Structure 1
Amino acid sequence: METMTMAQHFLLSAKARTLSIRAIYKAGEEKAYEQFRSIRWASTNGQAVCPRCGCVDTYEITTRRRFKCAACHHQFSVTSGTIFHSRKMGFTDLLAAIALFVNAVKGMSALQMSRDLDCQYKTAFVLCHKLREAMANETAGFTLDGEVEIDGAYFGGSIKPQNRKEDRIDRRLKEHQTGTRRVVIGLRQRAGRTLTFVRNFEHEGVQIARDLVASASTVFADEATHWDVLEAFFPTERINHSEAYSEGHGKHTNWVESFFSRLRRMVAGQHHGVSPKYLAAYASNAAWCEDHRRRDNGCNAVALVGNAMLSPVSRSWCGYWQK
């Protein structure tokens, strides 16, 4: 008698696990330093390049892990001019933090990171947001084409109801809103990348689509009336979610809904609420995890290190606690 076997999920397979925290700490600080160096200067096989003038003729100050440019005499380190500029954390801890961050496919709270690395909450908070900024930079300037799904989901702004029924208010009324409710607009190219934007109203996604989606692309949207405008600019397919989630033949918005599902679990399950100030960062985090969900954690860690090395000094998080 034949039996049917279900295919194993990728995250349950050994192929998904190519990097471990144990291996990082076993290799030691020097190995982690060489990893950062080889990723930043991959084109020169780890040979330092001056970030100020671009000269490859440099001297290495081994006792301080710094370099001096022979042309402009500028001294710099492997993290100078990057998002990790002025870092104080060791390279082993930094690489371990990145590994922990990419392993958390539904997000990692700063409190959990501070406990895992035995560092201050403030250090973990800024580090996590720097990593989210590096993730967002990966899709900066991207445009979408082919088949693109668009949708929006609202976050925040809820008011906890009073205990006694007679004391409760109608939380749907405008005068009872907190002013912190925002919509995350997601545009996802099928077999491509996910772009996210935080706005006050979902209909603002129409202009975003016009700016970032190629005119010949097919746009998939739900039954919301504000998406009707898209039909004037793109071949458009609509799905009425009150009747079905998918009508077959590719007529659905399941891919972008999958991103929103991950973001909701991230906000509700890990962070227990996100303020509008940081919502865009968490949306970028969820989009990056969703786009790379089929890549092993070792490749994800190396990719995130590369994004961080390519990202300039953060203007939002450099000296954050000093305002």
Structure 2
Amino acid sequence: MTQHFLLSSAARSLSLAKVARMSEDEAREAFREIRWAETGGNPVCPRCGCTDHYEIKSRKKFKCAACYHQFSVTSGTIFASRKLPIRDYLLAIAIFVNGAKGYPALQLSRDLDVQYKTAFVMAHKIREALASEQVGDDLLTGDVEVDGGYFGGHIRPANKRENRIDRRLRRHQTGKRRVVVVMRERKGRTRTQVFKSEGQAVATIAKSVHPTATVYADEAAHWDVLHARFLTKRINHQEAYSTHEACTNQAESYFSRLRRAEVGTHHHISARYLAAYANEMAWREDNRRVSNGEQYLMAARAALTHPISRQWKGYWQRKAA
């Protein structure tokens, strides 16, 4: 039997020990090479784009020769206005990508010896950068599987049987339940979005999938309208999970990863942040056959090319709930 990729040596190309042993200067040089890879590590002014600069060695900064703007290796990125050593950010990215089902902020705070608030925001900044890699203007093509999975809004049953209610009825729902709808190319890209119901996703699917694509969906009635726009093949899960004509196994594989992240890693995902976790798992699914070293470079590159986050910069200072 062929060895699974994740068990092979090719999947292990990153050493956390090597990153942890980096000096601050070595970490800064690594950030520099990752951020400005196109110019061979030569700094580019984030304000005017000039490559001519002076180096202020006493402050570990650069000064643009054209507009005289002073900047560092993290200026203008999602890690701007940082307080931790640069090595800690590299280590956080390395730890984060190693979690196949995600990585909890509480454990990250213990690994880095920082407050939970710091780890929470840091992890979400990485998720935001990864999400920017998943979302694009290109339409999904080929064979595209569509499905939805419901998360949150759990109602705990009462202790005594006579006090229990029918939790399936709308009047007994909490209103916190949300559905993650996934659109996944077979052997390709994965796109996700959060809605209150699966039926609300039809318009988004019409905008995200190319008209020439073949769409695979289950027997739910709200997918009937897809037949008018796409060549649509359906699978009735009450009769079979897969046939020679249709299946949504790739979509189900994605939900398996997201569900295990919710139950086994994070234990609870708020509806407010569900989209961030859904995009993270889409990135992990799309890169599941990529070594952890390559994932580390991809995540660091995404973070260092992503602009300053409007959501997470000053998150706790705004007393966000």
Equivalences for residues 87-236 of structure 1 within 5 A: 87-142=82-137, 143-236=139-232
Distance (whole Å) between structure 1 residues aligned to residue 61 and residue 80 of structure 2: 13
Distance (whole Å) between structure 2 residues aligned to residue 245 and residue 34 of structure 1: 51
Paired AA for residue 155 in structure 2: I
Task: State the partner residue of 1:320.
Answer: 315
Note the alpha carbon deviations across 1:181-207, whole angstroms, 9 max, x for none: 000000001111100000001012211
Distance (whole Å) between structure 2 residues aligned to residue 28 and residue 147 of structure 1: 47
Task: State the partner residue of 1:32.
Answer: 27
Note the alpha carbon deviations across 1:132-171, whole angstroms, 9 max, x for none: 0001000222421111000000001111111111221221
Q: Structure 1 length normalisation: TM-score? A: 0.96
- Aligned residue for 2:134, secondary structure, equals coil
Paired AA for residue 317 in structure 1: W
Note the alpha carbon deviations across 1:270-292, whole angstroms, 9 max, x for none: 11111110000000111110000
Distance (whole Å) between structure 2 residues aligned to residue 319 and residue 55 of structure 1: 29
- Aligned residue for 1:228, secondary structure, equals helix
Q: Please report how far the alpha carbon of residue 49 of structure 1 lies from its aligned counterpart in structure 2 after TM superposition.
A: 0.7
Distance (whole Å) between structure 2 residues aligned to residue 290 and residue 7 of structure 1: 21
Q: Structure 2 length normalisation: TM-score? A: 0.97
Note the alpha carbon deviations across 1:2-61, whole angstroms, 9 max, x for none: xxxx21111111111111110112233222211110111111111111000111111111
Note the alpha carbon deviations across 1:217-251, whole angstroms, 9 max, x for none: 000001111111000000111111111111025x2
Unaligned runs of 5+ in 1: 1-5
The alignment-based identity, stated in percent, is 58
- Aligned residue for 2:194, secondary structure, equals strand
Paired AA for residue 180 in structure 1: K
Note the alpha carbon deviations across 1:252-311, whole angstroms, 9 max, x for none: 111111001000000111111111100000001111100000000000000001111111
Distance (whole Å) between structure 2 residues aligned to residue 322 and residue 60 of structure 1: 32
Equivalences for residues 205-284 of structure 1 within 5 A: 205-248=201-244, 251-284=246-279
Alignment coverage as a number of residue pairs = 317
Does 2:41 match 1:46?
A: yes
Distance (whole Å) between structure 2 residues aligned to residue 256 and residue 65 of structure 1: 47
- Aligned residue for 2:118, secondary structure, equals helix
- The CA RMSD measured in Å over matched residues stands at 1.0
